[in-house]
Structures are given as C-alpha cells and as structure tokens.
Amino acid sequence: MIDVPSPLRLRLSSDALVANWRWLAAQGGAAACGAALKADGYGLGARDVMRQLVGAGCRDFFVATWGEAAALMPLPAGVSLSVLHGVGEGDMVAARLLPARPVLNSVEQVRRWRAAGEGRPCDVMVDTGMNRLGLRIDEATGGALDGLAIETLLSHLVSADEDSDQNARQLAAFRTLRDQIPARRYSLANSAGICLGADYGFDLTRPGLALYGGTPRAEAAGHIRQVVFPEARVLQVRTVPAGETVGYGATWTAPRDSRIAVVNMGYADGYLRCHAGNGGATWQGQALPLVGRVSMDLTAFDASEARGLNEGHWLTIDYDLAAIAARSGLSQYELLTGLRMRFERGWS
Ligand SMILES: *Cc1c(COP(=O)(O)O)cnc(C)c1O
C-alpha cells in the first residue's frame, strides 16, 4: 500500500493526558482514579489512551459496548475493564469470552447474567435520578441483587457540572445504597463529580472529559491542560485584494489587500461551521483569524501578519474546548468526539 501523508492531524499530548489524570486522581481523595474510554477514548484513540494511563498507574477503565471492549484486547496485566451498557441477549458470547465485566443496568440484565451461570463478578448501575440506565433504587434494594458477586456498584450524577441541589441528594442516596448493597467498591463521580469534592469519590472515580482536556467545572480551570491540538496543512496561500470576498456566501470581505491561507480541513472533519466568525489558528506564535465560512474540506485564515507562511506549512487550529463551547453552544464532549478520522492521530 502507498503511504499517503495526511494533510491534517491531531497532535495529542501525552504529558497533558497524564497530568490531567494525576490532578483528577488527587482531587478524588482516597478513591482510585479510573478512565472512561468510550467512543474510542472520546476520539483520541482508546488503545493509546489506555496504554499511557496504565503507565501512569490507572487500572480501571470503562467503555460503552462490547465491541469497544473487544477492540482493547489483549488487556495489559492487572487492568480492569467495565462495559457500561451491560449485556443484551446478543452480547453474551462476548461477555463470556472477554476479560471484562458488564455493568448490569436492569433487572432483566441481572437475570440474563445469572442465567448464564457465570458466577464471575459483575458491576451494577443503580439509577439515583438520571432515569437513563440503571436499576431503580427499589429494584436494587428489593432483592434483585441478592447473592450477586458485585465488584463495583455505580451510579451517575445528573447535574454535576452545575451547582444543583440534586448533587447532594444523589450523594445521600448513593451513601444509603452503599449501606444496603454489598459490593467490593462504590463509584459515583465523573469528571465534574470529582470537582464537587472528595466526598463524591467513594472507592473509584470515572473521569472522561477532563482527562482529554475538557473543563467540567470552574474548579478545574487552570489545572486541566489541553490535550488535543488539531493541525492542518496549508494547501494554498493567495493574495486577495481589498474589497474582494472569500468563500461561500461571500460573508467576508477583505478590508485591505490580504494574504489568505487555505487549509485542508472542514466540517466533514468535525471542524464545524460554528467556528466561522471567531475561529482561528496560529503559526509560529502569530494569530491567523478564520475568514468566511467553513466548507466541507476547506477553511481559510487571514495570514496577512504571518510573514513567511507558505504552502505546505502547518497551522495549529485554536481548539480551547471550554471557550469554543461557551460561544458555540456545542458541548465540549461534542467538540472532542466530533473530530473525524481524516485527522491522523499522533502522540508526543
Ligand atoms: C461517560 C461516563 C463517564 C465519564 O463522564 P465525563 O463527564 O466525561 O467525565 C462516567 N461514568 C459514566 C457512567 C459514563 O457514561
């Protein structure tokens, strides 16, 4: 096969990933700090994320589906992997064969797991307010779990990223569950939950977003480092005379004679049209504002101040998740997981 170099890449920072995990681990008090790897490690590459976090001391990982679990095999020694969506009928073969635990989410799933006669430990999700996945509290405490070998009992916070009374209510409900349902470990907090304080840590935390550079709450600002740096190669630099426009819809008019750098990246790559009007890039410390609309695979930047920039040079695209989320209305999760496969992933 011909090795074709990609014109766009995600530079991923190992140091930042590991530093974020360490910071989150420190906030969780005595709790072990795990990592959510679903959606291919929020788009960064689940295998690479796992390998680096295992190197830092992380032992507990979470994916959504059995397909995601299978893609992580073989697991490094001593690693625990949980499958958040539990076991449907069609998952039982994978659940039997793979060294991963289902997070059982319903009475039906508990029955299915028991019927398989595994006897191996499982995890269980109890719903304390999300009404998404998990047994209801009355189901969980009403005998459905009796005799089950539960490794980790989980619940998930609804509004941890907000100052909502519901956080304290879910904390209290989860403490009550801990006293009623025997399990080896208890786990409640995602990234935002970790920022609510060590009370929320219990035995194990499950950050995702903040590992990858998202800021889940103000407490994390200044501590969480950017991990994902999109970069795009300049396809062409052109001179646009004052008064001419750039791109579809002629939404940007050159206020003076301008040098415009066109890069090989657009909304088909997950670099969405919401960046028009306020997106930007840098080259050798020089800021290049985005001009005009974002096209399917092309975006233009004003390189008038970037002297020496030319075809083949690489721009680093501004990708401050919290800032872009605040002005675009998209969530930091969407901004991370939306970056598509034409970006070549590379760790440094
Ligand atoms: C995705 C997920 C997490 C991680 O959440 P973040 O907000 O990304 O930290 C933790 N627990 C469960 C059950 C999840 O689905």
One of 212, 248, 271, 333 is an active-site residue; which one? 248
Measured from the Cβ of residue 150, the count of other Cβ atoms closer than 10 Å reads: 19
Structure confidence by residue, pLDDT tens digits, 146-178: 999 999 999 999 999 999 999 999 999 999 999
In the block, residue with structure tokens 């589906």? 65
- Distance between CA atoms of residues 257 and 303, nearest Å: 11
Going by alpha carbons, the residue nearest to atom 13 of ligand 1 is: 156
SS3 of 52, please? helix
- Tell which residue, 107, 89, 118, has the closest CA to residue 146: 107
| Ligand 1 pocket: which of 62, 105, 205, 224 to mutate (most atoms within 8 A of CB) | 62
SS3 of 228, please? strand
pTM above 0.75, yes or no: yes
Rg (C-alpha) for the chain, rounded Å, is: 23
Torsion of CA 179, 175, 26, 13, to 10 degrees: 110
Which DSSP helix (H) or strand (E) runs through 280?
Answer: strand 280-283
Residue 208 Cβ inside 6 Å of ligand 1? The answer reads yes
- Burial of residue 336 (CB within 10 Å: 0-12, 13-18, 19+) is buried
Rounded mean pLDDT, 165-193: 98
Q: Work out the pLDDT band at 36, boundaries 50, 70, 90.
A: very high
Residue 155 Cβ inside 6 Å of ligand 1? The answer reads no
Q: Which pLDDT score is estimated for 26?
A: 98
Q: Exposure pattern of 154-189 as b/e (b: 16+ CB <10 Å)?
A: bbbbbebbeeeeebeebbebbeebbeebebebbbbb
In the block, residue with structure tokens 């681990």? 25
CA of 37 to the centre of ligand 1 (A): 9
CATH superfamily assigned to domain 228-347: Lyase, Ornithine Decarboxylase; Chain A, domain 1 (2.40.37.10)
The whole-angstrom distance between residue 102's C-alpha and the CA centroid of its chain comes to: 21
Q: Which pLDDT score is estimated for 202?
A: 98
Q: Are 286 and 305 in contact (CB under 8 A)?
A: yes
Q: Which pLDDT score is estimated for 327?
A: 95
Active site (annotated) includes residue 271: no
Q: Are 293 and 273 in contact (CB under 8 A)?
A: yes
Residue 85 Cβ inside 6 Å of ligand 1? The answer reads no
Atom of ligand 1 nearest to the CA of 209: 8
DSSP letters along 87-155, please?
--GGGHHHHHHSS-EEEE-SHHHHHHHHHTT--S-EEEEB-SS--SSSB-HHHHHTTTTTT--EEEEE-
Q: What's the mean pLDDT when you consider all of the chain?
A: 97
CA of 207 to the centre of ligand 1 (A): 6
- Distance between CA atoms of residues 24 and 198, nearest Å: 10
The whole-angstrom distance between residue 73's C-alpha and the CA centroid of its chain comes to: 20
Q: Work out the pLDDT band at 67, boundaries 50, 70, 90.
A: very high
Q: Work out the pLDDT band at 117, boundaries 50, 70, 90.
A: confident
Residue 190 Cβ inside 6 Å of ligand 1? The answer reads yes
One of 38, 212, 267, 333 is an active-site residue; which one? 38
| Ligand 1 pocket: which of 53, 204, 206, 217 to mutate (most atoms within 8 A of CB) | 206
Residue 80 Cβ inside 6 Å of ligand 1? The answer reads no
Residue 191 Cβ inside 6 Å of ligand 1? The answer reads yes
Structure confidence by residue, pLDDT tens digits, 300-324: 999 999 999 999 999 999 999 999 9
- Tell which residue, 2, 6, 3, 4, has the closest CA to residue 346: 6
Residue type for 226, please?
Q
**Per-domain residue ranges of the chain:** 14-212, 228-347
Active site (annotated) includes residue 186: no
Model confidence at 38: pLDDT above 80? yes
In terms of phi and psi (left: phi > 0; alpha: psi -120 to 50; beta: otherwise), the region of 307 is beta
- Distance between CA atoms of residues 255 and 242, nearest Å: 5
- Distance between CA atoms of residues 47 and 231, nearest Å: 22
Give the angle 89-76-152 at the CA atoms, nearest 5°: 50
Class for the domain spanning 14-212: alpha beta
The tally of CA atoms less than 13 A away on the side-chain side of residue 113 is 25
Atom of ligand 1 nearest to the CA of 133: 13
Model confidence at 46: pLDDT above 90? yes
CA of 175 to the centre of ligand 1 (A): 19
